[in-house]
Structure 1
Amino acid sequence: MPGDARKSEQGGRGARLAERIDALPTQPGVYLMKSARGKVLYVGKAQNLRTRVRSYWSGGDGRVQVPKLVARVADVGVLVTPTVKDALLLENELIKQHKPPFNVRLRDDKQYLALRLDPRETWPRLTMVRRFKRDGAQYFGPYTSSTGMKHALSNLRRIFPLRTCSDGVFRDYARRGRPCIEFEIGRCPGPCCDRVEPELYGELVRGTALFLRGRSAELVNTLRARMEAAAAEERFEEAARLRDRIQAVENTVERQQIVSDRRVDRDVFGMARKGGEALVQVLHVREGRVVGSAEFPFSDVRIEDGEVLSSFLGQYYGLDQERQVPGEVLAAATAGDEEALEALLGERAGRRVDVRVPQRGPGRELVAMATRNAELALTRRLEDRDSLASALEELRDKLGLSATPRRIECYDVSNLQGTLAVASRVRFEDGQPDKSGYRRYRIQDAPAGDDLACMREVIDRRFAKREKDPLPDLLMVDGGRGQLAVVTALARDEGLELDHCGLAKERDDESPSERVKRSGGLKAERIFLPNRVNPVLLPPSSRGLLLLQRVRDEAHRFAIEFQRSLRQKVGLTSILEEIPGIGPGKRRALLRELGSLRKVRNAAPEELAGVSGVSQRDARRIHGFFRALEEANDPEEVAPPEPGAGADAGASREADFHD
């Protein structure tokens, strides 16, 4: 199209847009700025739609990002609402629906973890969930990492030992009349077998909720009153337990940072920004103490700080979130919509909630503290990103890859003594996990004990879906030459030019003279490449090697997690059927002569070999199978949290605060 014609068309489009804006209503509502192709570029809310939208073109909006947005807008649509509070709610929903590039968008809440407690149950328990629901239960979180979640559960089980079993397991032990090992080691009071009174269990439930909300003073006062009453009635054992519980809570509270003399609950929001990168830091203050924090990073941010925080607050406290609402919300800036936010949060909480941008005093100091920590967190995040970029470049150079491996996929195969074969795929984008690219595979055709055949099946299935799911820059397998050869052969058969490698530790059967002795031990990590005889050895401190190890370990964790879930679904009786070489006749003989599956599981190889039709080799296989099962089910040890870590905190991070 000639230049003059193009300008004429653009001018006509601009005139039509101006007429459209002049005709907008003056009521509250939501506006959607769209491109020439109808794509929603930005969603905003306003008390007066016409005035707000007109300000983008009249110079009334001084934000430096506005010209970039306005240059792409070809149309503006609006939705009128009764109040600006309703506009705030609608704005949140439309941002989720359209994912406009000029808005900041909180991650899908399914990516966050929370603890759920339903006091209406007869014997309540804490469960881990990925969604806050309006179902009458109490939710504590979000936890932005599983580490924060494990922190909370670990400490809670020591101080307030609620049951951890599922309802099905609970009923099973109730039928048996004997509690599980958790009761024996003091981590469960045994409600399944009536070893605890409902009133006492209810006190544990209430204590758990107070602890997670950060109500330490109220909790300690309640426990102390119960301790004194128990001592007065000469129930000294119960009084001693309560004394220890009080001490555990007080010891943890002492480690928390006091930031205010006012015993008020606050959420404090600070923000840092460098170019298009931004990070919002939330500090959760309960009874004057910082009980937790969470970080929310955003990339490619094109709107000003007040707009970012206003949009963030609306999504953070959205009605689909059963999040605790404090008495005060302090923010570094807003878009002037504090009243709408107050109305929304007040309706949620059933009481007055103050939303402020403090200009002086203790509130301003708290916001400054949150902002400083946001700046430190953003700096650390950008440094980590630069480090990851150099790691990817190192891998490209050292491994001779055709391109920088911005997308890496890793595959791992796992089986249990030749049974329950599964595989996993994890994906890393720019050195960070991309959970949307994670996959789990149940091995369908390959023999469960043949790792190479299992890997061949999984990679073959992956290549078959390459049209819908593009291949990565680097495909990695957990293994050495054998696993790598499988990928090489399949890629050659499919005519694919694909960078791929295998990562494996040094073999135990190599002689000492063949081992490469380096700092960190004798077992070196070896990177196997196609068409290369000797593996690549990178120094232990290599950023590229550390990244590959992280990817490989994540694939291994994901595979083991899947296998563990399958074992729980299959059940012990069905697992007995999974042992190779143990057919129906031998299974019946084992159960008949030993009496029960539990006795089969605990029997020594000599006892198993004494069963009719069971050979010494069968006995060793059965015994090894159940020992491997026990090892795979060993719980993971985690560190204790700070109380209040569930008070809408990601993970308690007092040690990271700087004031």
Structure 2
Amino acid sequence: MLNVAGEVLYVGKAKNLRKRLSSYFRASGLTTKTMALVGRIHEIEVTVTASEREALLLEQNLIKQYKPPYNILLRDDKSYPYIYLSTDHEHPRLSIHRGRKTGKGQYFGPYPSAAAVRESLSWLQKVFRVRQCEDSYYKGRSRPCLQYQIGRCSAPCVGIVSDKEYAVDVNYTELFLKGKSSDIQADLANQMERHAAALEFEQAADLRDRIAHLQQVQSTQCIEGETGDMDILGGVMDGGQVCIQLVCVRGGRVLGSRSYFPKSQLEEPLAMQIEAFVAQHYLIGSGASDIPREIISNIMLDDSDLLAASLTEQAGRQVSLSHKVRSNRAKWQNLALTAAEQNLKNRLASSASSLKRFKALQAVLGLEELPERLECFDISHSSGEATVASCVVFDGNGPLKSDYRKMNIDGIAPGDDYAAMYQALSRRYTRVKAGEVLMPDILFIDGGKGQLTQAKTVMAELGINNLLMVGVAKGSDRRAGLEILIRGDDGREISLPDNSPALHLVQHIRDESHRFAITGHKARRDKTRRQSTLEGIPGVGAKRRRELLRYFGGLQGVKQAGVEDLRRVPGISEKIALQIYEDLRSA
């Protein structure tokens, strides 16, 4: 379904198009949101496929490509994270991995989130002490690092642990990640008894602590007697919003869980929303190893047979979908459902609080309508170095991070915040005026009258006259709660009590813009400081840099060389030699 501009509004599949379309075009019984969709439809395109499975895959591909506003959409489409155990090294390492599995070694997972991977890696460091440092860091060690000192690595880099002992720890790690912790526990118990009998009590105590850690993780992550790879989905709907809780179980062990809040404009029933989640989450962009052997939901899905057949075909093995389960699977199902209910309740409470803050801001600024989109700009630099501007966006649900933007500021005097603000706003609102970016209801500027004047100048030059601009100036002693709001239209200054919900909203968006600007500035500054002086010279690529450094033995030798010396380097012409010489002298 397309609007008059040819933009995709909605994508859907159906075995019977007449029935499906007639449900939208009928005289009565339509919801308000469905009527809004129908009112915008200008054209309907139809593609006929050979089977239902092809239609399902085409639907998901089109949804991912066009992101239609009236379809159920998932925000996150990153690949699953895995734990990677390298095997092409004398001392294998553990690390988090996303993307294609090209390295030699074993991949364990998938995990529902990077946080779940980091939690597992932290626990493995304490118990098995397999290194997790980069190979470049490992090669440069001449003494143990801090990870050894705090008992999280056995320091194979400097030979404190023998290769044989390290291989045992690697083997234990592999067994644990395969879900065979009971085998490890039995082996460790036998070793502990042998050490105790030989009066080697320190070694026995260390093994006892490892066994205790294993028992602890088994009690928190495993349900006794249950094995298998499965994902459990708990879906709940309340207040017009949906939460789907995904619990990942591999080898009978809960790897972690994650909450998803699908966006839907048409108020589809919960079963349809879970079906859309399964299709988008597993069918598009997932590898065969990302799809579990069983998916359990808390309600029956109408298209479960079609989804199971499609997942089976993609995975190359049998994949089942079920909702009626017993015993331990029912416990996991209840766990997912309880988590979904609690997380949705928290989100609704947060949304209510956000609405209260927006209404308070509306009253404070005397606006006729409730603002829906807020933007805030801030500037960050270190004594004029690596200046970065940030633009953060808030809507009724809070931070809208997909619309955040960072801008590198160049061509200004170092430390000139006014010029930096002018450049950032000019670049941003040129795009806003062209219709490439949505116009906010309120533009906040982190700063006083000087920064606000720059914003007013930019808007006047661009001919934007209907935008409310507000400066957020720090109080007399720069303490939180004493901020002063300065309106750009009449210059009125507004002081709010420190318990004002409107002030809390302004502080939130101001602090977020400050954090985002500092993050961007640090990244740019660190990149510049890590960058070789040769990298900024036109015509000097990676190959020529390598030849220069090899010929002169390092950067210092290149800096001391004359033009004739530089010409002797293979691949360096007289013109490039002169360019290198002049750039290094000017630097």
Verify same fold: TM over 0.5.
yes
Shift of 1:471: 3.6
Q: Does the aligned pair in 2 maintain the 1:104–1:308 contact within 8 Å?
A: yes
Of 191, 213, 236, the match for 1:248: 213
Of 256, 259, 281, the match for 1:295: 259
The change in CA–CA distance for 1:277 and 1:492 in structure 2 (over 3 A counts) is: same
Matches within 5 A, 1:168-207: 169-170=136-137, 174-175=139-140, 177-178=142-143, 180-193=145-158, 196=161, 201=166
Partner of 1:545: 503
Q: Does the aligned pair in 2 maintain the 1:277–1:300 contact within 8 Å?
A: no
- Does residue 434 (structure 1) correspond to residue 400 (structure 2)? The answer is yes
Partner of 1:5: none
Partner of 1:94: 62
| Matched residue type, 2:60 | N
Shift of 1:163: 4.4
Partner of 2:382: 416
- Does residue 393 (structure 1) correspond to residue 359 (structure 2)? The answer is yes
Of 558, 563, 581, the match for 2:516: 558
Shift of 1:358: 0.8
Q: Deviations over 1:35-55 (max 9, x none)?
A: 89795733337xxx4xx4455
The change in CA–CA distance for 1:442 and 1:54 in structure 2 (over 3 A counts) is: closer
Q: Does the aligned pair in 2 maintain the 1:57–1:70 contact within 8 Å?
A: no
User: Kindly, what percent of the aligned residue pairs are identical?
Assistant: 32
Give 3-state SS (helix, strand or coil) of 1:44's partner: coil
Give 3-state SS (helix, strand or coil) of 1:391's partner: helix
In the alignment, the residues of structure 2 paired with residue 119 and residue 528 of structure 1 have an alpha-carbon distance, to the nearest angstrom, of: 55
* TM-score normalised per structure 1: 0.64
Q: Does the aligned pair in 1 maintain the 2:246–2:257 contact within 8 Å?
A: yes
Of 486, 510, 513, the match for 1:529: 486
Q: Does the aligned pair in 2 maintain the 1:282–1:370 contact within 8 Å?
A: yes
- Does residue 315 (structure 1) correspond to residue 280 (structure 2)? The answer is yes
In the alignment, the residues of structure 1 paired with residue 506 and residue 3 of structure 2 have an alpha-carbon distance, to the nearest angstrom, of: 41
In the alignment, the residues of structure 2 paired with residue 259 and residue 339 of structure 1 have an alpha-carbon distance, to the nearest angstrom, of: 29
Partner of 2:74: 106
- Does residue 78 (structure 1) correspond to residue 48 (structure 2)? The answer is yes
Of 86, 99, 122, the match for 1:119: 86
The change in CA–CA distance for 1:318 and 1:57 in structure 2 (over 3 A counts) is: closer
Q: Does the aligned pair in 2 maintain the 1:43–1:95 contact within 8 Å?
A: no
How large is the Cα RMSD of the aligned pairs?
4.5
The change in CA–CA distance for 1:439 and 1:417 in structure 2 (over 3 A counts) is: same
Matches within 5 A, 1:487-526: 487-497=455-465, 498-503=467-472, 505-508=474-477, 523-526=480-483
Shift of 1:389: 1.6
Shift of 1:272: 1.7
In the alignment, the residues of structure 2 paired with residue 533 and residue 55 of structure 1 have an alpha-carbon distance, to the nearest angstrom, of: 59
Shift of 1:443: 2.5
> Which structure ranks higher in relative contact order (CA pairs < 8 Å, sequence separation ≥ 6)?
1
In the alignment, the residues of structure 2 paired with residue 350 and residue 218 of structure 1 have an alpha-carbon distance, to the nearest angstrom, of: 30
In the alignment, the residues of structure 1 paired with residue 186 and residue 247 of structure 2 have an alpha-carbon distance, to the nearest angstrom, of: 25
Give 3-state SS (helix, strand or coil) of 1:546's partner: helix
Partner of 2:550: none
Of 444, 452, 455, the match for 2:421: 455
Query: Where do 5+ consecutive residues of structure 2 fail to align?
Result: 24-28, 534-587
Shift of 1:526: 0.5
Shift of 1:126: 1.6
Partner of 1:332: 298
| Matched residue type, 1:138 | Y
Q: Does the aligned pair in 2 maintain the 1:412–1:478 contact within 8 Å?
A: yes
Shift of 1:391: 1.1
- Count the aligned residue pairs: 515
Partner of 1:273: 237
Matches within 5 A, 1:216-255: 217=182, 220-221=185-186, 224=189, 240-255=205-220
Matches within 5 A, 1:156-171: 156-167=124-135, 169-170=136-137
The change in CA–CA distance for 1:383 and 1:374 in structure 2 (over 3 A counts) is: same
Shift of 1:424: 2.1
| Matched residue type, 1:174 | K
Q: Does the aligned pair in 2 maintain the 1:214–1:291 contact within 8 Å?
A: no
Shift of 1:451: 3.7
| Matched residue type, 1:384 | S
* TM-score normalised per structure 2: 0.71
In the alignment, the residues of structure 2 paired with residue 218 and residue 553 of structure 1 have an alpha-carbon distance, to the nearest angstrom, of: 50
The change in CA–CA distance for 1:399 and 1:74 in structure 2 (over 3 A counts) is: closer
Shift of 1:444: 1.0
- Does residue 486 (structure 1) correspond to residue 454 (structure 2)? The answer is yes
Shift of 1:164: 4.7
- Does residue 569 (structure 1) correspond to residue 534 (structure 2)? The answer is no
Q: Does the aligned pair in 2 maintain the 1:65–1:304 contact within 8 Å?
A: no
Q: Does the aligned pair in 1 maintain the 2:108–2:177 contact within 8 Å?
A: no
Give 3-state SS (helix, strand or coil) of 1:529's partner: strand
The change in CA–CA distance for 1:456 and 1:159 in structure 2 (over 3 A counts) is: farther
| Matched residue type, 2:388 | V
The change in CA–CA distance for 1:319 and 1:553 in structure 2 (over 3 A counts) is: same
Shift of 1:460: 3.3
| Matched residue type, 2:237 | R
The change in CA–CA distance for 1:251 and 1:366 in structure 2 (over 3 A counts) is: closer
